[in-house]
């Protein structure tokens, strides 16, 4: 387990999080791309505490199961919050030290538009594969 | 930016739909890996350059802006937080907007050709098939070569 600190661009919001390892993923789903301006690079956390500026965080309920949070002052994307799991999936750029972090996977690869592509030997999962992996016993 | 590049009209909007826009722009876009862009978006920023006169925005009152440097501001939807634009005023060049790729409704025909601040990827991710990869040192050398900025 790694303890990672992070903050937004203007510094109004800061946090501390526990992550299992330094491997992270990129999401190409339509909502992530619409929100982040491109593929969303993020890391799931085991625990997260806001250490500064909780009153500056704006959360937008983007689906029945998720919220997307940004800093009201500078607009930095902070995290995608999975409501049923109470889990913060944090924007990689918000972490202060990324020297022990590496892109390992791309999800919703079947939603990635043409025109750009990430190189390398990454684990690549389609929407159906992601859903099968997170929903026990099927693709419900 | 070659004058011969084909330009087309495109539309876009934020995640919640409070801000909508139309642009007229070329087909080649860039990626920026600088510390500000990555801290802001969480990821490298991919964007299409648009002249201010080629932008039309509906719901601009729902935009929030943050000046991340003396030369540039970043704009997002204050409701859903979707990243939409950066606008720059730099000495010696015409004002320009950068429109976030993800905000566009359709990117058919667009392609990533160039990245800047390439050294900031820390070597842990890489885009395929670019025509140009420029580091900070390359950008500084170009500025000096152009006799500008210093």
Beta strands A66-71 and A57-63 are antiparallel
* Alpha carbon of A111: minimum distance to chain B alpha carbons (Å): 12
Using alpha carbons, select from B49, B56, B47 the residue that is nearest to residue B22: B56
Percent of chain A scoring above 90 in pLDDT: 93
Residues of B in contact with A116 (CB under 8 A): 31, 46, 101, 111-112, 127-128
Q: For all residues of chain B together, what is the average pLDDT?
A: 91
**Distance between CA atoms of residues A135 and A138, nearest Å:** 6
Per-residue pLDDT of chain A (140 residues; tens, 9 = 90+): 999 999 999 999 999 999 999 999 999 999 999 999 999 999 999 999 999 999 999 999 999 999 999 999 999 999 999 999 999 999 999 999 999 999 999 999 999 999 999 999 999 999 999 999 877 664 44
Q: Confirm or reject contact between A9 and chain B (CB < 8 A).
A: yes
- CB distance B70 to B47 below 8 Å: no
Sequence-distant (6+) residues with CB within 8 A of A135 are: none
A94/B110 Cβ within 8 A? no
Interface predicted TM-score (ipTM) of this complex, two decimals? 0.90
> Which residues, numbered 18 to 37 in chain A, qualify as contacts with chain B under a Cβ-Cβ cut-off of 8 Å?
26, 31-37
Q: Confirm or reject contact between A8 and chain B (CB < 8 A).
A: yes
Q: Confirm or reject contact between B39 and chain A (CB < 8 A).
A: yes
In this predicted structure, the answer to whether residue B72 has a pLDDT above a threshold of 90 is: yes
Q: Confirm or reject contact between A131 and chain B (CB < 8 A).
A: no
Nearest-10 Cα torsion for B41, B87, B92, B146: 30
**Distance between CA atoms of residues B94 and A50, nearest Å:** 41
């Amino acid at each position: 387990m790694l303890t990672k600190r992070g903050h937004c661009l203007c510094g109004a919001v800061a946090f501390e999080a526990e992550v299992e390892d330094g491997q992270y993923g990129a999401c190409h789903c339509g909502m992530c791309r619409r929100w982040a301006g491109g593929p969303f690079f993020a890391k799931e956390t085991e625990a997260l505490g806001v250490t500064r500026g909780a009153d500056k965080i704006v959360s937008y309920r983007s689906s029945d199961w998720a919220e997307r949070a940004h800093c009201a002052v500078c607009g930095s994307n902070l995290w995608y919050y999975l409501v049923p799991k109470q889990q913060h999936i944090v924007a990689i750029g918000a972490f202060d030290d990324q020297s022990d972090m590496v892109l390992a996977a791309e999800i919703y690869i079947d939603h990635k538009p043409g025109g750009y592509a990430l190189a390398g030997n990454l684990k690549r999962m389609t929407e159906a594969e992601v859903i099968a992996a997170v929903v026990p016993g099927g693709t419900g | 930016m070659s004058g011969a590049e084909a330009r087309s009209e495109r539309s876009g909007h934020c995640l919640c739909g409070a801000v909508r826009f139309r642009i007229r722009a070329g087909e080649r876009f860039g990626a920026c890996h600088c510390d500000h862009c990555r801290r802001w978006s969480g990821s490298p920023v991919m964007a299409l350059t648009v002249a201010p006169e080629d932008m039309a925005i509906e719901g601009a009152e729902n935009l929030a802006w943050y000046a991340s440097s003396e030369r540039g501001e970043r704009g997002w939807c204050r409701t859903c937080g979707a990243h939409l634009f950066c606008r720059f005023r730099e000495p010696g060049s015409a004002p320009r907007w950068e429109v976030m790729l993800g905000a566009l409704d359709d990117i058919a025909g667009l392609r990533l050709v160039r990245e800047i601040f390439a050294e900031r990827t820390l070597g842990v991710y890489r885009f395929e098939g670019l025509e140009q990869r420029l580091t900070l040192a390359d950008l500084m050398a170009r500025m000096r070569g152009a006799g500008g900025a210093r």
